Amino acid sequence: MGFTFQFILKLFATMFLSIILTPLLKLLSFKIGAVDRPGERRINEKTMPTAGGLSIFISFVVAIVWEFNDMLDAKQIWPMLIAAFIIILTGLADDIFEITPMQKTLGIIVASLVIYFIGDITIDTISIPFLGSFQLGWLSLPMTLIWILAITNAVNLIDGLDGLACGVAVIALVTIGLISYFFLPTNGVPLAIMIFSLVAAIAGFFPYNFHPATVFLGDTGALFLGFMISVFSLQGLKNATFISVLTPMFILGVPITDTVYAMLRRYFNKKPISSADKMHLHHRLLSLGFTHRGAVLTIYALAMVFALIALLMNYASTWAIILLVISTLFGLELFIELIGLVGENRQPLMHTLKFVGNRRHRQQILNKIKHKNKHEKK
């Protein structure tokens, strides 16, 4: 009971530190030129400070190094904090100078190498149902780098509306934290402590970021959150199983879905994969008439559905998981086509369902005609 009370008290201290720091770092953003000016691809109508993510980072570091230092292993936390600092510098450089996508990717790769070689957070083995376990060997490094790059950029891409990335990150982190605490055989408790420390830091920043926002996460915060989520999710993947791989993918279902369909959309439209557009998930909801808050809350709800499915996977059998995945992908594809995420004219599943429905309807009409003709002959 005493440990739980102290833990909760320290989380509140982390949250209050973030609450205090955010207004100060908002002023600093204007001083150093880390601002987001209105433009064709922007939602905001006035210049906004974009280094708000610094308050989350500082609060998290204080919590890990000072408040919870007696509960954590220094060999585990310092490589992670060094890598996170590299990410913060990369994001801050982008918020101030607008660096190129290649430069941003380079920063993420350098941080990922710190995690891999110094932090020893890797994917070494993968187990596939009905096939067995496979040692990745030299593929361990590229697999780990791809995992971190993909998730970091996916979270960064959804940072398009007030409070969106923060809320989705909190839902993902809480789910990873619960799974770590209850299902990870080793390192589960220390990992949960770090995860909920980050959640507390985000909670202090969130009131300033929810619509109407007074400060943005910026790439400083969005890259940091995406990177930390990728690193935390990797903790249970050293010896990856079917469930341990699928679980974080479903937890991060919203940013991963948005990223995958953005790549498909640009491929079909013959545009570079890295090109920007206003067809992301939140953009489509706004174009369909959703209010700013309505779009954000809808995506929160979708993220919670994914999180619930991820939790259920840890209790289900292999065949139940397979059926759950198929059902989820079917429903997700239908939702994506309904909102036109790839394009209003690209709806293969809906066209198929319409065809099946029309064919059945035509058959019913033909049967009625045949029955009527038989009746008239009699």
Closest CA to 247 of 262, 237, 260: 237
Question: Tokens at residue 340, please?
Answer: 């036109």
Question: Based on the structure, what is the number of domains in the chain?
Answer: 2
Assess if residue 4 is contained within a domain: no
Q: What is the pLDDT, as a whole number, of residue 357? A: 55
- Per residue, what are the HEC states of 235-265? CCCCEECHHHHHHHHHHCHHHHHHHHHHHHH
What would the pLDDT profile of 293-349 be if each residue is shown by its tens digit? Answer: 999 999 999 999 999 999 888 888 878 888 999 999 999 999 999 898 887 778 888
The answer on 327 and 184 residing in a single domain is yes
Task: Tell whether 154 and 217 lie within a shared domain.
Answer: yes
Which of 144, 326, 345, 335 is CA-nearest to residue 245?
144
**70 labeled binding residue:** no
Together in a domain, 269 and 361? no
Asked if 324 and 359 sit in the same domain, the reply is: no
* pLDDT, tens only, 99-121: 999 999 999 999 999 999 999 88
Is residue 305 assigned to a domain?
Answer: yes
Residue 219 assigned as binding residue:
yes
pLDDT band at 370 (very low <50, low <70, confident <90, very high): low
Question: Is residue 137, in this structure, part of any structural domain at all?
Answer: yes
Whether residue 296 is contained in a domain is answered as: yes
Domain holding 296, by residue range, is 17-34+48-346
- pLDDT tens for 109-160 read 999 999 999 998 888 887 776 666 778 888 899 999 999 999 999 999 899 8
Answer whether residue 7 is part of any domain.
no
Number of H helices, E strands in the chain: 14, 5
243 plus 365 within the same structural domain: no
> What is the pairing mode between strands 48-49 and 132-135?
unpaired
